[in-house]
């Protein structure tokens, strides 16, 4: 049987294995002991260009903690990108706030900044822009809008490690940035996440709420906290991964640019953009199967699956999520662009070890599916 080409494979070497084993031997098994967690927080925050990093258990809990640290809760509304992983909306939901989806732009697939002001009400407290698939949101424009309406800005950087806006790295461009180190992310600790911030008071609150809000005396709790602590051995792995990040990003861009060239000749397939002010890190290489392509997105995915090529659809937008639609106070905001992306978008294999010949073969199969001779 032919081995399936997966959409992505983590890049992990012996150094990670050794670093994790050494951390375990040093007793860094919980989230409370050892040097690896503070070292990983320091180095990751430096990489991002933020003053503080607070390591947590996942991107999901990073977002949930950030919303909690901002003091957002019942009665509040939080604007979120419509096209995203459900974790973005859950961050508001699990804090008792109502997420409000913002439809996508046609080209970057990120939230459409032209729609934001029309969705703001007196309840709106925050906005969570997602740098989708590694293309950053224009944070200069977004911050100007947020400042006019006094909104907290929480960047969802789960897919954007190293992406930049006019030379500045995502994660330091709002009040807080939330990263994921899940297995398929640009760097990984298996599961894991980090909140970055330049705000000393927010950093202190994030650390407090991450650790069950322990204060003095130890078992008397003024605040309702969480246990979102990353383990020491995960942080040890993160430190090694961080040393590889430039190489990983270089390879991500190689894969993306090879696909860009190869797919430029295939009509009916839209490929990712990179705005002139942005550095796209191409976490995943997304394509949109347009109406003039002879096959639907699902037919093309089936055609590729038969040839052992793995694909994934884009996200189901937040305006269509049943659990949100049932939520009291949820606003039925139309998101036609995000819905079209959900119907027609998919990402194709972009593991960084895929040679250009494999990428060419994948595109040949797409071309053949369209009936174009290869």
Ligand X SMILES: Cc1ncc(COP(=O)(O)O)c(C=O)c1O
Give whole-number Cα distances, 69 to 129, 195, 202, 216, in Å: 17, 11, 6, 19
Nearer to ligand X, 156 or 339 (CB): 156
Task: Please report, as ranges, the residues that interact with ligand X according to CB under 6 A.
Answer: 58-60, 84-85, 87-88, 130, 156, 158-159, 180, 182, 193
**Shortest distance (Å) from residue 58 CB to ligand X:** 3
162: left (phi over 0), alpha (psi -120 to 50) or beta: left
Nearer to ligand X, 35 or 310 (CB): 310
Contact 115, 335 (CB under 8 A): no
Strand partners, 270: 288
Angle at 368 between CA 366 and CA 369, to 5 degrees: 65
Shortest-Cβ-distance residue relative to ligand X: 59
Angle at 299 between CA 353 and CA 325, to 5 degrees: 95
**Shortest distance (Å) from residue 120 CB to ligand X:** 22
**Shortest distance (Å) from residue 190 CB to ligand X:** 10
Nearer to ligand X, 228 or 330 (CB): 228
**Shortest distance (Å) from residue 221 CB to ligand X:** 25
The angle that helices 232-243 and 245-263 make with each other, rounded to 10 degrees, is 60
Nearer to ligand X, 129 or 349 (CB): 129
Nearer to ligand X, 113 or 360 (CB): 113
Q: Which element (helix H / strand E) includes 67? A: helix 59-69
Rounded Cα distance between 167 and 85, Å, is: 26
**Shortest distance (Å) from residue 251 CB to ligand X:** 20
């Amino acid at each position: 049987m032919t081995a399936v080409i997966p959409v992505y494979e983590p890049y992990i070497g012996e150094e990670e294995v050794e670093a994790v084993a050494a951390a375990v031997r040093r007793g860094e098994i919980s989230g409370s002991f050892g040097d690896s967690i503070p070292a990983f927080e320091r180095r990751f925050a430096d990489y991002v260009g933020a003053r503080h990093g607070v390591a947590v258990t996942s991107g999901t809990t990073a977002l949930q903690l950030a919303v909690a640290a901002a003091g957002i809760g019942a009665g509040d509304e939080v604007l979120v990108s419509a096209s995203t992983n459900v974790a973005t909306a859950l961050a508001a939901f699990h804090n008792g706030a109502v997420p409000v989806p913002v439809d996508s732009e046609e080209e970057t697939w990120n939230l459409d900044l032209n729609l934001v002001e029309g969705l703001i009400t007196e309840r709106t407290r925050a906005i969570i822009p997602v740098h989708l698939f590694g293309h950053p949101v224009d944070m200069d424009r977004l911050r100007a809008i947020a400042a006019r309406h006094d909104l907290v800005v929480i960047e969802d950087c789960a897919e954007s490690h190293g992406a930049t806006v006019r030379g500045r790295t995502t994660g330091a461009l709002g009040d807080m940035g939330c990263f994921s180190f899940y297995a398929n992310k640009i760097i990984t600790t298996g599961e894991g996440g980090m909140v970055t911030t330049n705000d000393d008071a927010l950093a202190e609150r994030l650390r407090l709420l991450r650790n069950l809000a322990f204060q003095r005396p130890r078992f008397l709790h003024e605040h309702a906290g969480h246990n979102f602590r990353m383990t020491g051995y995960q942080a040890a792995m993160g430190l090694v991964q961080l040393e590889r990040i430039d190489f990983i990003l270089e390879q991500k861009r190689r894969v993306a640019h090879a696909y860009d060239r190869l797919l430029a000749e295939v009509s009916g397939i839209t490929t990712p953009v990179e705005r002139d002010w942005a550095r796209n890190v191409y976490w995943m290489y997304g394509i949109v199967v347009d109406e003039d392509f002879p096959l639907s997105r699902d037919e093309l995915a089936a055609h590729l699956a038969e040839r052992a090529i793995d694909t994934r659809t884009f996200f189901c937008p937040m305006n269509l999520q049943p659990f949100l639609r049932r939520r009291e106070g949820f606003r039925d905001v139309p998101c036609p662009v995000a819905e079209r992306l959900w119907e027609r978008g998919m990402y194709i294999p972009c593991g960084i070890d895929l040679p250009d010949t494999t990428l060419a073969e994948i595109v040949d199969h797409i071309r053949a599916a369209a009936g174009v001779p290869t």
